[in-house]
Amino acid sequence: MTESFGAYPAEQIVAPNESAPFTPAIARPPVLNRPAPLVKGDTIGVVAPSYAPQPGWLLRGAKAMEDAGYKVIMCGEIDRFRRFQQREDERRAENLMGIWVNPDVKAVIAATGGYGAVRILPYLDPDVFRRNPKAFVGYSDITALHLWMMRRAQLRVFHGPTLDDLFPGGSDPTVLSLLTALTTPRPETKIGRGSARAVRPGTAVGRLTGGNLSLVQQTIGTPYEIDTRDAILFLEETRDPMSVVDERLLHLREAGLLRQVRGIVFGQLSLDRSEEDEFEDFLLDLVSGLEVPILMDFPAGHEVPNFTLPLGTEVELVADETTGWLSYREDALAFPEERPKLSLV
């Protein structure tokens, strides 16, 4: 590993073979730490780095986790009225790190999304997360934290439901997908098969990354810019008009962040499509030069079900003639005997 300068983590460099013709050294993405799996009886910490959740929905989600056999503890100020000012940003960062270093907490889930997560990033200490790998779940505004943790703390994370999305009863597919992802190092599930739609057939393998398109775009030019090298890129969005999606994808493309992707998975795109009748043609035209497999309507994002995806983990994307899926190619979680011990230094 090379030394890490500034805000960016060290990256692996492949040195050229001295006996072979000279070729430039190739930078590869750094290895990301695996959190430990949850086991029955573990405690899940709940944080609110974005909006304050609605109490009724929050309690419903907590019951879903408790019914599944886990304890739930809430951040002390989870329902505090949000004032998006520096001192409040610092407070939310302190609350997140406080839950994270709690030795009783084995995984952390965001209470809800909304807005505000990006404001706390300057006040987070990457070492807190790097030295204490734990599964972290959320989506939408939580994408900012996901990409920051992968880039700054070298930690694998999970794109999945927030607590206020969950329903008790044991049959909610969103809950079942979440529990599978957090308890099984390498699930055998073909995620999305039968729901996702193949629009460009093919097969690709790469590290899964992405999330909410607007938050992905906001990382461009930052120390936690999304790393798309040899990646399977997952993107979802909600409520925006097609012109805004157009601008964001164009920005990613012109910034060179689509050049090295190995496949693209478009999740749930709950958009205002009134500006563009031929929505699919419009979208595919933006990525037409990539010649990679592409899936549409993947069941992850702002609709139901919202399946949990292992960001930072190598997956296989398969797009056949009609449908497609993602499957694990490596463990996303450490084996139980490798369960990391809490470090405060």
pLDDT for position 82: 75
For 21-37, give the DSSP string. Answer: PP---EEEPPPPBPPPP
For 168-186, give the DSSP string. Answer: SSS--HHHHHHHHHHH-SS
User: Three-class SS of residue 9?
Assistant: coil
CB distance 78 to 52 below 8 Å: yes
**Assigned fold of 197-328:** Glucose Oxidase; domain 1 (3.50.30)
Closest by CA to 41, choosing from 104, 96, 131, 86, is 104
pLDDT for position 276: 55
Half-sphere exposure of 95 toward its Cβ, with a 13 Å CA cutoff?
A: 24
Q: Rounded to an integer, what distance in angstroms lies between the CA atom of residue 314 and that of residue 322?
A: 23
Domain 197-328 in the same topology as domain 43-183: no
- Domain chopping of the chain, boundaries: 43-183, 197-328
CB-based contacts of 20, cutoff 8 Å, min separation 6: none
Residues in the chain with pLDDT values less than 70: 1-28, 271-279, 336-345
pLDDT for position 8: 38
Cα 148 to Cα 139, 152, 209, 214, 326: the distances in Å are 13, 6, 12, 15, 23
| Statement: 43-183 belongs to CATH 3.40.50.10740 | yes
Phi, psi dihedral angles at 30 (to 5 degrees): -70, 155
Query: Within 10 Å of residue 150's Cβ, how many Cβ atoms?
Result: 23
pLDDT for position 7: 36
Element (H, E) at 317: strand 314-319
CB distance 192 to 325 below 8 Å: yes
pLDDT, tens digit, for every residue of 125-163? 999 999 999 999 999 999 999 999 999 999 999 999 999
